[in-house]
């Protein structure tokens, strides 16, 4: 008997008792719908939880300059100047597992507003990417821009603690504060984050463009500032621009020896730290590998040379996060399995009843020439068709449920293709497994007995 005939026969048999077929398949419908809805709502919650934990810095990787050592004496982490802001830019550009990276320049100094002063816990010079890396938002005002970083603009953002201490909780946006006699305009206020896991107040913070902090506050020197200015002026008044058609050169070009003898003033652009956000918790390890090889290449390290930087992740938080999501997934899986087994037992129950009820039909089919295998396949096909129909309806119902939940309760949900595929596979599997016994029983019937059955 060909397979499409088996299917057609199964469908015809199911259509003959459509109500019973519908009720039978209800178990699978509810089972699969529960699986899909649970998976989608659960995955949504799990993602939301992960996102929350990620704001604690679970996705973050920290890079510090390495330690210098001379004659066997180590000078501790950060004692050599190897990290540059362009390292941070290169990490974002070249490492696919990295979502964002920000350079950090630290300072510790007094912040003055009017007649008040306060020494913030953290003063970070950085780029706007810092907010992406830390998953931090401005609660008021705006963040400073990349343009501000390039121009070393005197702007900054402050945390909630600063607002409380210096401004008595009034809005500080637009006000001016001083850091070591440099006046900064406050453009934004950071949202409250509270203490971190070590009990350190994370809101006691000022962030400003790293260029401003480095060249105007901590490492300010007249020569570098002056040189910066003259370079700009000189470049805009080159003879070729003043006299575009003239080919003359006012000054002789210095030879390479001359250039080496009189080096242009170097602007030190070393930074204290780079913070990196991996795209997800799973991508932390690949991100660290990518960053390590990139920085080794950028720092021209020989293959056997030790690294001149230190790279760390926040293992403790990451572990919390991955164990949380693992737990959620397992829990959902168990719930799903239970409901599918219940649905499967329901199908088996009804198929057994159906075999008894259709004993005469089975006898007749055998009398007109159906072999045991034909009967087995027919009943198996019925069970599988029931389960597949139930599975499809269940998928729709489950998706609808999760949609309703996300629309009415505003719970986060996430579509899970895996759950849909698994639900279909499992419902077909349930059909085969729980349909096999009744089908086998039907195929073992003796046609003489079956025909006489009342």
Partner 1 sequence: MALLDLRDVRKTYHLGEVDLPVLKGVTLAIEKGELVALMGASGSGKSTLMNILGCLDHPTSGEYWLDGREISGASTDERAMLRNDLIGFVFQNFNLLTRTSALDNVTMPLNYARVALHETAMRARAEKLLRLVGLEERMDHHPSQLSGGQQQRVAIARALVNQPRLLLADEPTGNLDSRTTEEILQMFRRLNETEGLTVILVTHDPNVADHAKRVIRIRDGLIEDQNAAVAAQLDWP
**Cα–Cα distances in angstroms (integers) from residue 350 to residues 25, 27, 308, 357, 381, in the given order:** 10, 11, 71, 10, 14
Task: Determine the Cα–Cα distance for residues 427 and 423; give it in Å rounded to an integer.
Answer: 6
# binding residues, partner 1 (CB under 8 A): 24
Question: Which among 10-18, 197-205, 307-315, 383-391 is the span making contact with partner 1, rule CB under 8 A?
Answer: 10-18
Q: Which of 304, 369, 410, 417 binds partner 1 (CB under 8 A)?
A: 369
- Burial annotation 179-202 (CB, 10 A radius, 16+ → b, else e): beeeebebbbbbeebeeeeeeebb
Residue 385 Cβ vs partner 1, minimum distance, rounded to whole Å: 16
Sign (positive or negative) of CA dihedral 186, 187, 193, 199? negative
The alpha carbons of the chain give a radius of gyration, in whole angstroms, of: 35
Question: Does 453 interact with partner 1 (rule: CB under 8 A)?
Answer: no
**For the residues of 363-412, what is the DSSP string, one character each?**
HHHHHTT--HHHHHHHHHHHHHHHHHHHHHHHHHHHHHHHHHHHHHT---
Residues 371-390 close enough to bind partner 1 by CB under 8 A? 371-374
SS3 content of the chain, % helix, strand, coil (to 5): 55, 15, 30
Complex with partner 1: residue 412 or 447, whichever CB lies closer: 447
Complex with partner 1: residue 176 or 374, whichever CB lies closer: 374
Question: Does 17 interact with partner 1 (rule: CB under 8 A)?
Answer: yes
Q: Which of 216, 365, 377, 399 binds partner 1 (CB under 8 A)?
A: 365
Question: Which among 89-97, 263-271, 308-316, 445-453 is the span making contact with partner 1, rule CB under 8 A?
Answer: 445-453
Q: Which of 226, 356, 360, 409 binds partner 1 (CB under 8 A)?
A: 360
Q: Which of 16, 137, 312, 330 binds partner 1 (CB under 8 A)?
A: 16
Question: Does 23 interact with partner 1 (rule: CB under 8 A)?
Answer: no
Q: Which of 366, 389, 422, 423 binds partner 1 (CB under 8 A)?
A: 366
Task: Determine the Cα–Cα distance for residues 337 and 32; give it in Å rounded to an integer.
Answer: 10
**For the residues of 306-344, what is the DSSP string, one character each?**
PPSEEEEE-HHHHHHHHHHHHHHHHHHHHHHHHHHHHHH
Q: Which of 142, 367, 396, 421 binds partner 1 (CB under 8 A)?
A: 367
Q: Which of 311, 364, 403, 414 binds partner 1 (CB under 8 A)?
A: 364
Sign (positive or negative) of CA dihedral 302, 307, 308, 313? positive
Task: Determine the Cα–Cα distance for residues 150 and 147; give it in Å rounded to an integer.
Answer: 5
Question: Does 353 interact with partner 1 (rule: CB under 8 A)?
Answer: no
Task: Determine the Cα–Cα distance for residues 403 and 400; give it in Å rounded to an integer.
Answer: 5
Binding marks (x or -) toward partner 1, 288..317, rule CB under 8 A? ------------------------------
Residue 443 Cβ vs partner 1, minimum distance, rounded to whole Å: 10
Q: Which of 5, 108, 116, 312 binds partner 1 (CB under 8 A)?
A: 5
Task: Determine the Cα–Cα distance for residues 370 and 372; give it in Å rounded to an integer.
Answer: 7
Q: Which of 361, 387, 393, 394 binds partner 1 (CB under 8 A)?
A: 361
**Cα–Cα distances in angstroms (integers) from residue 273 to residues 84, 96, 151, 200, 207, in the given order:** 9, 20, 21, 19, 14
Binding marks (x or -) toward partner 1, 393..432, rule CB under 8 A? ----------------------------------------
Question: Does 347 interact with partner 1 (rule: CB under 8 A)?
Answer: no
Task: Determine the Cα–Cα distance for residues 162 and 121; give it in Å rounded to an integer.
Answer: 10
Complex with partner 1: residue 2 or 410, whichever CB lies closer: 2
Residue 361 Cβ vs partner 1, minimum distance, rounded to whole Å: 6
Complex with partner 1: residue 222 or 368, whichever CB lies closer: 368
Residue 6 Cβ vs partner 1, minimum distance, rounded to whole Å: 9
Residue 51 Cβ vs partner 1, minimum distance, rounded to whole Å: 55
Residues at the contact surface with partner 1, assessed by CB under 8 A: 1-2, 5, 9, 12, 16-17, 360-361, 363-374, 447-448, 451
């Amino acid at each position: 008997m060909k397979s499409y005939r088996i299917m057609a026969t199964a469908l015809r048999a199911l259509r003959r008792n459509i109500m019973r077929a519908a009720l039978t398949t209800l178990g699978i419908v509810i089972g699969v719908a529960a699986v899909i809805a649970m998976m989608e709502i659960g995955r949504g919650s799990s993602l939301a939880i992960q996102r929350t934990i990620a704001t604690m810095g679970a996705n973050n990787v920290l890079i510090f300059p390495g330690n210098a050592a001379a004659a066997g004496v180590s000078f501790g982490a950060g004692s050599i100047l190897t990290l540059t802001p362009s390292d941070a830019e290169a990490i974002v550009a070249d490492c696919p597992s990295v979502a964002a990276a920000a350079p950090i320049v630290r300072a510790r100094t007094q912040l003055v507003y009017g007649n008040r002063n306060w020494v913030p816990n953290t003063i970070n010079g950085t780029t706007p990417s810092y907010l992406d890396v830390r998953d931090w938002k401005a609660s008021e005002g705006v963040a400073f821009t990349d343009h501000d970083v390039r121009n070393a603009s005197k702007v900054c953002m402050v945390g909630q603690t600063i607002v409380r201490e210096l401004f008595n909780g009034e809005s500080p946006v637009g006000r001016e504060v001083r850091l070591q006699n440099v006046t900064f305009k406050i453009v934004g206020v950071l949202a409250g984050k509270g203490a971190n896991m070590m009990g350190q107040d994370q809101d006691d913070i000022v962030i400003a463009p790293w260029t401003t902090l480095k060249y105007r506050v901590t490492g300010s020197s007249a020569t570098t500032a002056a040189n910066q200015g003259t370079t700009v002026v000189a470049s805009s008044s080159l003879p070729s621009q003043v006299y575009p058609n003239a080919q003359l050169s006012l000054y002789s070009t210095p030879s390479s020896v001359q250039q080496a003898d009189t080096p242009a003033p170097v602007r030190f652009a070393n930074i204290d730290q780079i913070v990196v956000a991996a795209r997800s918790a799973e991508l932390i390890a690949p991100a660290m590998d990518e960053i390590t090889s990139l920085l080794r290449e950028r720092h021209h390290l020989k293959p056997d040379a030790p690294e001149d930087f230190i790279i760390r992740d926040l293992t403790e938080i990451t572990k919390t996060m991955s164990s949380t999501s693992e737990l959620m997934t397992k829990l959902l899986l168990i719930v799903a399995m239970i409901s599918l087994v219940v649905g499967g037992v329901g199908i088996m129950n009804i198929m057994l009843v159906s075999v008894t009820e259709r004993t005469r039909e089975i006898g007749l089919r055998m009398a007109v020439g159906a072999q045991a295998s034909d009967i087995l396949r027919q009943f198996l096909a019925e069970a599988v068709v029931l389960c597949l129909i139930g599975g499809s309806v269940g998928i729709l119902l489950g998706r609808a449920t999760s949609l309703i939940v996300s629309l009415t309760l505003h719970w986060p949900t996430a579509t899970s293709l895996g759950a849909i595929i698994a639900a279909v596979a499992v419902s077909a599997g349930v059909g085969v497994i729980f349909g096999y016994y009744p089908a086998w029983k039907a195929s073992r019937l003796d046609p003489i007995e079956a025909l006489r059955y009342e």
